[in-house]
Structure 1
Amino acid sequence: MTLALLHTAFLVINWIVAVAWLWRTAEALRHLPSVPDLGQSRYAQPLPAMPLLAVIVPARNEERAIEATLRSLLASQGVTLDILAIDDRSTDATGAIMDRIAAEPASSPHTLRVLHVESLPDGWLGKTHAMALAARQTTAPWLLFTDGDVLFRRDALARALSFVEQSRDDHLVLFPTLLLRGAGERMLISMFQTLSIWSSRPWRIPHPRAKRDFIGIGAFNLVRRETYKAVGGFEGLRMEVLEDVRFGYLIKRGGHRQRVVFGPGLISIRWAEGVRGIVDNLTKNFFAIFRFNIAKTLAACAGLAVLCLLPFAGFFAGRAAAFASVLTLLMVFRLYRWFSRYSGVAPRYALLFPVAACLLIFTILRSTVVTLARGGVVWRGTFYPLRELRKRAGPLW
């Protein structure tokens, strides 16, 4: 193939990518404003009679964060909570902190119960076992599965429960507000938000026929008890690394009503510390996203390179290619600008988009190599064999 043909092929692909970015961005900016924002004043008034809400908080070695999480839950207003905190084989002071808070004189209408897991049964991941165990200990009509490092604003749960009761949905996911520090964290998180328009359409999630549009987030999965039982609970996800995502998949595929909402500041989380922390967290997840399939993982990396890196190479390939690259960069900037209202990340971080994309591809490949080299996944000090994870990994698409 001559250099002229290579240049023509590059130009055509670059324009296809630019038009794809234009189409997807226009669709997202048109429909994202329709996703409810629970932070708005119209969602501030709780219902006169609120059902009991069980909040299930699994935690392993979370001594730095668990006290703040539990105290934020106990400070919740406008709703009555049955809080179940599960100490999942912690080797630090997590369990002792839970017990100390539970032993304090009650200062709110909420109850706090602590469950201690001393050993993990065969065929379970620690988190799914802890959540399944706690769900069996309550009869509350609503269950909220969250994490041991999430902070709740006092009105967050009242707003969420009021909304889902009135909308008559079966499953509600609230996007958490990530507490970011440093340019590296902002660079990566803003890139993830921008790329999310290719993998998720939040405005389509409530539509029953949009089976490919579903969601599950470990920080906030609010579900009716009947729906939880109907999809098999976490007993059916015993060895699922992406238990939150797969949970959302099963709910949507089961024909249940699902919805996602924004709510800046209602719940917040310090998800990872620095670029290294983000990469380490995602090393567990990325190979699992592609169901531990090497071919699918490599294809995804190639697709990301074309989608995210090729347009920037166009600036060095002549005027026509540069025009396409400018169009792509403008779309990326528009998305950064829109998401900045929720992330707080300045739109200028769009200039670091290709750098963040390179780190994303590196992390996906690292996840694959590390998992294959270990023969499994190590998470929170426990090893889970790859052969078992593959055998239990259900579809996500």
Structure 2
Amino acid sequence: MNFTEGLALAALGYWLFMLLDVLRARRWMFKLPRYAGHPTIPAQPKRSADKQAPSLPPLVSIIIAAKEEESTIADTVKHLLDQTYPRIEIIAVNDRSRDSTGRKLDELRRWSENRGDLHIPVRIIHITSLPSGWIGKNHALYQGYAQARGKYLLFTDADVKFAPNTVSDAVHYLQEEQADHLTLAPRMRMRGFWLKAFVQYFFFTLGLYVRPWRSNDDFQHKHGMGIGAFNLITRHAYERIGTHKALAMRPDDDLQLGRLVKRARLRQRLASGADHIEVEWYATLHDAVRGLEKNLFSGFGYRLWKAALGVCGQLGLFFFPWIAWLLLPGWSAWTFALSAALMVVVYLLLIRAMTGGSGIETIALPAAVLLLTYVVVRSVGLTLRQGGIYWRGTFYPLKALRSMKDSDS
């Protein structure tokens, strides 16, 4: 057996395994329900803080980190002010923004205070400097937690749109599942075919690598999941995992938060929130490429050999089957063709489960593979050449990033 024949069998084996794994995992792919009535969290009249009745639902502290988010922060806060859940506080942290983010947040706070029909307090924290040993977003979220009073903490991003019942449905579901942490996958708002094809392929490969549905398996405590758009966690669980201090230098703080929850043997739920939250991750394909090249190397622990293995896997298992069945003779060609067909089936199953999309972007899979491979290679090259990463205007040395990865391994 030559190398090509061996690769053909390896690719077929990989895609058969992934198909069986995804089919088996469908029982763990949940969707946040829409509840009617919410019997466990009844609406209550406004009361003073020192006269709260025991029947009041738990307070939810919504914590937002915002840096240079002047174009989106106002919409996000206004969506949160429209929530139907009866007990919310909003803590927005302006993380050293150089644009008008801070001014807009102050205006929103004054506007909400002058609205007699709004009973949701809005607190603004302005951060002017970043201590050593922290990534800016993680420090901002931690500062928000330090001033939060809620039993539940909701960490979210500054560009998320919320349906009015999102917090209410999420708290109800968390209580119903007796979970410590709930993370929601948002509906991704994407403009244009090629942006959608690339972003969905990125999440497809990430899903196969992380296999996020395992976080809903209560009998394993190694694989967890967190998504930055929506991480709802009990205060007790958050403090038990060490707060964001345990994630201080992690660019992938949301994912790592979910992993720490599982490793602490706490109960976690991942669900699709496509009917509840929406986010525009990147506006253009160029923005997506530039954004991902800053932090994709982190997914490989900043280890060159892991990134090289990932590139070889992308080319050998995801790209080569598309051309091999046209170029090779004999049974190898048909084996690669079957691998490509299985890849399409797995893609459709995952994308429809995660995003609710049609999956028509499968026609662009080979191009998306090559583009993502290019982004990984460029991410590695930029990080090594710079000796670290620039993240939202701040430089983080590679040595410090690697030390945080090593401490978690």
Where in structure 2 are the equivalents of 1:331-370 lying within 5 Å? 331-338=342-349, 339-340=351-352, 342-343=354-355, 345-370=357-382
Deviates more, 1:104-113 or 1:205-214: 205-214
Which residue of structure 2 lines up, in the alignment, with residue 69 of structure 1? 76
Q: Is the 8 A contact 2:60 2:154 kept in 1?
A: yes
CA RMSD of aligned residues (A): 1.9
Counterpart-to-counterpart distance in 2, 1:342 and 1:210: 22
Which residue of structure 2 lines up, in the alignment, with residue 241 of structure 1? 251
Which residue of structure 2 lines up, in the alignment, with residue 298 of structure 1? 308
Counterpart-to-counterpart distance in 2, 1:81 and 1:262: 23
Where in structure 2 are the equivalents of 1:36-75 lying within 5 Å? 36-38=30-32, 40-41=33-34, 43-46=35-38, 47-49=40-42, 50-75=57-82
Counterpart-to-counterpart distance in 2, 1:314 and 1:334: 19
Q: Does 1:22 align with 2:22?
A: no
Aligned residue identity for 1:137:
Q
Q: Is the 8 A contact 2:274 2:356 kept in 1?
A: no
Counterpart-to-counterpart distance in 2, 1:331 and 1:77: 44
Deviates more, 1:66-75 or 1:120-129: 120-129
- What SS does the aligned partner of 1:51 have? coil
Which residue of structure 2 lines up, in the alignment, with residue 109 of structure 1? 119
Q: Is the 8 A contact 1:56 1:143 kept in 2?
A: yes
CA-CA distance at 1:56 after TM superposition: 0.3
Aligned residue identity for 1:48:
I
Which residue of structure 2 lines up, in the alignment, with residue 378 of structure 1? 390
Percent identity over the alignment? 30
CA-CA distance at 1:330 after TM superposition: 2.1
Deviates more, 1:238-247 or 1:192-201: 192-201
- What SS does the aligned partner of 1:284 have? coil
Counterpart-to-counterpart distance in 2, 1:120 and 1:133: 11
CA-CA distance at 1:210 after TM superposition: 2.4
Counterpart-to-counterpart distance in 2, 1:273 and 1:144: 25
Counterpart-to-counterpart distance in 2, 1:140 and 1:367: 39
Q: Is the 8 A contact 2:9 2:335 kept in 1?
A: yes
Counterpart-to-counterpart distance in 2, 1:172 and 1:78: 16
CA-CA distance at 1:321 after TM superposition: 2.3
CA-CA distance at 1:332 after TM superposition: 2.5
- What SS does the aligned partner of 1:136 have? helix
Aligned residue identity for 1:140:
G
Deviates more, 1:262-271 or 1:125-134: 262-271
Which residue of structure 2 lines up, in the alignment, with residue 325 of structure 1? 336
C-alpha change, 1:203 and 1:170, in structure 2 (3 Å) is same
Counterpart-to-counterpart distance in 1, 2:362 and 2:131: 46
Normalised TM-score (structure 1)? 0.92
Normalised TM-score (structure 2)? 0.90
CA-CA distance at 1:172 after TM superposition: 0.8
C-alpha change, 1:231 and 1:361, in structure 2 (3 Å) is same
CA-CA distance at 1:197 after TM superposition: 4.1
Aligned residue identity for 2:265:
G
Which residue of structure 1 lines up, in the alignment, with residue 200 of structure 2? 190
Which residue of structure 2 lines up, in the alignment, with residue 231 of structure 1? 241
Deviates more, 1:271-280 or 1:25-34: 25-34
Q: Does 1:93 align with 2:104?
A: no
Counterpart-to-counterpart distance in 1, 2:296 and 2:379: 6
Counterpart-to-counterpart distance in 2, 1:334 and 1:44: 35
Which residue of structure 2 lines up, in the alignment, with residue 82 of structure 1? 89
- What SS does the aligned partner of 2:61 have? strand
Counterpart-to-counterpart distance in 1, 2:216 and 2:275: 23
CA-CA distance at 1:341 after TM superposition: 6.1
Unaligned regions of 5+ residues in structure 1, if any? none
Which residue of structure 2 lines up, in the alignment, with residue 286 of structure 1? 296
Q: Does 1:129 align with 2:106?
A: no
CA-CA distance at 1:125 after TM superposition: 1.2
Q: Does 1:158 align with 2:173?
A: no
Aligned residue identity for 1:251:
V
Q: Is the 8 A contact 1:83 1:111 kept in 2?
A: yes
C-alpha change, 1:395 and 1:169, in structure 2 (3 Å) is farther
Aligned residue identity for 1:382:
T
Q: Is the 8 A contact 1:194 1:335 kept in 2?
A: no
CA-CA distance at 1:345 after TM superposition: 4.2
Counterpart-to-counterpart distance in 2, 1:125 and 1:366: 22
Q: Does 1:176 align with 2:170?
A: no
Please give the per-residue CA displacement for 1:133-190, whole angstroms capped at 9, x wherever unaligned.
1101012110011111111111111111110011111111100111011112111122
Counterpart-to-counterpart distance in 2, 1:202 and 1:181: 26
CA-CA distance at 1:202 after TM superposition: 3.5
Q: Does 1:387 align with 2:383?
A: no
Aligned residue identity for 1:327:
L
Which residue of structure 2 lines up, in the alignment, with residue 254 of structure 1? 264
Aligned residue identity for 2:96:
R
Which residue of structure 1 lines up, in the alignment, with residue 152 of structure 2? 142
Q: Is the 8 A contact 1:291 1:395 kept in 2?
A: no
